[in-house]
Amino acid sequence: MNETKPVARVLIVGAGPTGMVLALWLARLGVAVRIIDKTASPGTTSRALAVQIRTLELYRQLGIANQVTAHGHWVETVNLWVAGRKTARLGFGAAGNDFSAYPGPIIYPQDEHEKMLVDELASVGVIVERCCELLDFAEIKGQVSARVRGANGVEESVVVDYIAGCDGAHSRVREVLNIGFPGGTYEHLFYVADIEGRGEPVNGELHVALDTNDFLAVFPMAKAGTVRLVGTVRQAPDDAHQSLSWDDVSQRVVQWLHLEVIKVNWLSTYRVHHRVAQQFRKGRAFLLGDAAHIHSPAGGQGMNTGIGDAVNLAWKLAAVLQARGRDALLDTYEPERIAFARRLVKSTDRGFREVTSSNWLARRVRLDLVPVVAPMALHFRVVRRFMLRTISQLLVSYPASALSEGRAGAVRAGQRLPWVRMSVEAEDNFAPLSSLDWQVHVYGVPSAELSEACLARRLPLHAFAWQAEAMRAGFTRDAAYLVRPDGYIALIRVMGRAADLLSYLDRHGIVARGSR
């Protein structure tokens, strides 16, 4: 018997990490998608290395975090070198376990990462359509009609409810929508190289080296004796970009780090841009990932931010397509994600300029101030924790969103659900998030009216015994926390009153999946 494939509701353009995570989350929620990519195969170069804690938490919801943790390399120690001298060595150890099930960021090269996502997609019946290019699209009568050219060169018209532009920095979707991509390009040329080497910087730790005119970051990789270098190529003519080799890159810092390069496995040079699209949505089309924002790769944020966009949009699209949420849910995608993208681009821009600027003042700050102030500041646990939480994207929050209501103690709606390691129950409070569904959490005892309301709406209610860990995480005893499918808090009510919960669900038209 021939199985007929369900008609796709969403066309995903681009099978980089952003597009594939969007496809995977939608598929898990039962939404039929098509995902196309104009290239013949997934990327074969390592590019984004760092997978942040928040991404691991989102992957845990999908049941794929273990694929990353089993093959990646944890970053536990960071060394700061200034003008040939090691000025700080900071052990983060498993600091992340104070606020997450994951100890810290993990190094997992993008090529392996993409292969894993391709396999996960195949396991849920979604095959990336290769050599398939989006040419054009238009919104017609409440749908999107797209023109794509397939592997055989034949053009096809694809009609879907929504189109997602996950098609990278040179996005065709953004171009068709005529959305501006303001920002700029840094003057310097940078290189990325995966090398085999010897010396102290190849000790499994992260090394950041600053110099008068140079900058070099050495990232550990899973295979012993291999590292990723990210550094500057100075005074390169505009057209040198294509032809530069290892011999052309700046060797000064490499030499004073006593880094012996045995073999260069991959080298790429690139200009770094910092741009944010003026809109992330126009009608039935959305922009995500590099199509929406690009910045310096130095902080290891780019790919992770694209994955965050994908998750933010996926559950909203699924809810609207399955009549489990009002259309207005989709209006919250842009304000939630563009605000974070703008902050991120601004902060990476500032940091990147300070690290690479050749201006006199910036050089003095880099060479005289940083070696003194950085070790002092990082000596304090509170500073280290704040840094780790920021880099890990655990502080991304949506307090101003139309979906966020209420606060209790230090916890505000819009924040990621604080993580609690349960000393009584076997698991932590993130385990139920794998349902990808709305849910209510109570730390303590839920009121009878709240329990009844959840039962009536078939909204899963998770009551965790009150314990010191929950208090430390910032929860208020017996308060009700309505949690979104992506693990952010939507509504907080201290008295656990059911009327407010019901009114919230009705206003947003929310129907839990558990109730279908």
Ligand X SMILES: Cc1cc2nc3c(=O)[nH]c(=O)nc-3n(C[C@H](O)[C@H](O)[C@H](O)COP(=O)(O)OP(=O)(O)OC[C@H]3O[C@@H](n4cnc5c(N)ncnc54)[C@H](O)[C@@H]3O)c2cc1C
Our CB check for ligand X shows the closer of 39 and 435 to be: 39
Smallest distance from ligand X to CB 162, Å: 16
Window 50-79: residues binding ligand X (CB under 6 A):
50
Q: Does 48 bind ligand X (CB under 6 A)?
A: yes
**Residue of 22, 303, 317, 338 that binds ligand X (CB under 6 A):** 303
Query: β-pairing, 439-443 with 480-483?
Result: antiparallel
Smallest distance from ligand X to CB 190, Å: 8
Could you tell me which stretch among 117-125, 164-172, 399-407, 495-503 binds ligand X (CB under 6 A)?
164-172
Q: Does 105 bind ligand X (CB under 6 A)?
A: no
**Residue of 57, 211, 214, 290 that binds ligand X (CB under 6 A):** 290
Q: Which string of x and - marks every residue 172-211 that binds ligand X (by CB under 6 A)? A: x-------------------x-------------------
Could you tell me which stretch among 244-252, 254-262, 289-297, 361-369 binds ligand X (CB under 6 A)?
289-297
Rounded to 5 degrees, φ, ψ at 500 are -65, -35
Smallest distance from ligand X to CB 52, Å: 8
Could you tell me which stretch among 8-16, 351-359, 361-369, 444-452 binds ligand X (CB under 6 A)?
8-16
Rounded to 5 degrees, φ, ψ at 179 are -100, 130
Q: Does 168 bind ligand X (CB under 6 A)?
A: yes
Q: What share of the chain is helix, strand, coil (3-state, %, to 5)?
A: 35, 25, 35
First to last CA, the chain: 28
Q: Does 13 bind ligand X (CB under 6 A)?
A: yes
**Residue of 167, 194, 211, 437 that binds ligand X (CB under 6 A):** 167
Catalogue the E-assigned strands of 182-246.
Answer: 183-198, 206-210, 215-220, 226-233
d(CA 37, CA 12): 9
474 token code pair: 């910032």
Q: Does 220 bind ligand X (CB under 6 A)?
A: no
Q: Does 269 bind ligand X (CB under 6 A)?
A: no
> DSSP secondary structure string, 58-116?
HHHHHT-HHHHHHHSEE--EEEEEETTEEEEEEE-TTGGGGTSSS-S-EE--HHHHHHH
Sign of the CA dihedral with 37 first, then 38, 40, and 44 last: negative
d(CA 495, CA 478): 7
Rounded to 5 degrees, φ, ψ at 432 are -70, -15
**Residue of 36, 221, 229, 233 that binds ligand X (CB under 6 A):** 36
Smallest distance from ligand X to CB 49, Å: 5
Q: Does 391 bind ligand X (CB under 6 A)?
A: no
431 token code pair: 């385990």
In the complex, which residues of this chain contact ligand X (CB under 6 A)? Answer: 13-19, 36-39, 47-50, 110, 133-134, 166-168, 172, 192, 268, 270, 289-290, 297, 300-304, 306
